[in-house]
């Protein structure tokens, strides 16, 4: 009996506890590179992200265009601009796991506005799009309010998916009720994982 215990004891000591298996998040979908970490550069997408509009890429800050920004998390963040010609920038990612159709999901992101952004100085907002196919923005899922503050603030997005969503796009857009295009900017950092909405 002593010999059996001698061999079983190391297995018991190194076996994961029940909490290890059951306390891990089960319904969270994590973004790749959620804090947009990469080498600062103008007109470039950080690792794990792409632009949905060829030739219209974000900026990895600080450093791009000589802009000084203190990121909310990590060493870098992303800046997106709107233009007076009606074009805007966006950043998109293929999700590690698709979102199911007809389900309520939520995630948060920190947003800010830079008062002087090489002429793209007006405040803007973020629109969240979901698509099943690459290269298509798909369906508008949610929109932030106008971001006109220079400090980082956390914004929560919540939406029902119209169908399966495999790609999520974050697009900068003009202010609500705006009847003309303008040069504006928004800063993004620290995306929280996507998870199902809490039940009431």
Residues 6+ apart with CB under 8 A from 154: 108, 109, 110
pLDDT tens per residue across span 41-56: 999 999 999 998 877 8
**Residue 82 contacts residue 88 (beta carbons within 8 Å):** yes
- Percent of the chain having pLDDT more than 90? 80
Beta bridge partners, 79, equal 59, 187
pLDDT tens per residue across span 105-138: 999 999 999 999 999 999 999 999 999 999 889 9
Q: Average of pLDDT values for 87-112? A: 97
Beta bridge partners, 68, equal none
**Residue 124 contacts residue 173 (beta carbons within 8 Å):** yes
* pLDDT band (50, 70, 90) for residue 10: very low
Question: Mean pLDDT across the chain, nearest whole number?
Answer: 88
Domain spans of the chain? Answer: 25-196
**Residue 166 contacts residue 98 (beta carbons within 8 Å):** yes
| Token digits of residue 64 | 């791009």
The pLDDT score that the predictor gives to residue 21 is 35
Residues 6+ apart with CB under 8 A from 163: 101, 102, 132, 139
Query: At residue 28, does pLDDT exceed 80?
Result: yes
Beta bridge partners, 165, equal 99
Number of neighbouring beta carbons within 10 Å of residue 197: 12
Among the four given CATH numbers 2.60.120.260, 1.10.150.130, 3.40.50.620, 3.30.470.10, the one describing domain 25-196? 2.60.120.260
* pLDDT band (50, 70, 90) for residue 5: very low
Query: At residue 4, does pLDDT exceed 80?
Result: no
Measured CA to CA, the distance from residue 183 to residue 61 in angstroms comes to: 18
Measured CA to CA, the distance from residue 127 to residue 75 in angstroms comes to: 25
Query: At residue 20, does pLDDT exceed 50?
Result: no
């Amino acid at each position: 009996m002593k010999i059996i215990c001698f061999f079983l004891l190391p297995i018991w000591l190194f076996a994961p506890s029940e909490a290890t298996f059951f306390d891990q998040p089960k319904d969270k979908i994590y973004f790749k590179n959620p804090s947009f970490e990469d080498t600062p550069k103008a007109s470039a997408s950080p690792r794990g992200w792409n632009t949905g509009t060829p030739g219209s890429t974000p900026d990895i800050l600080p450093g791009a265009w000589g802009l000084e920004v203190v990121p909310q998390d990590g060493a870098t963040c992303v800046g997106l601009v709107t233009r007076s010609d009606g074009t805007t920038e966006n950043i998109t990612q293929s999700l590690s796991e698709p979102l199911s159709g007809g389900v309520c999901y939520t995630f948060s992101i920190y947003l800010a506005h830079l008062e002087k952004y090489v002429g793209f100085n007006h405040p803007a907002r973020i629109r969240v799009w979901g698509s099943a196919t690459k290269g298509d923005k798909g369906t508008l899922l949610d929109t932030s309010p106008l971001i006109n503050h220079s400090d980082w603030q956390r914004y929560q997005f919540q939406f029902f998916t119209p169908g399966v969503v495999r790609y999520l796009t974050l697009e900068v857009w003009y202010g609500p009720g705006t009847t003309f295009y303008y040069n504006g900017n928004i800063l993004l950092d620290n995306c929280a994982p996507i998870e199902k909405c809490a039940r009431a």
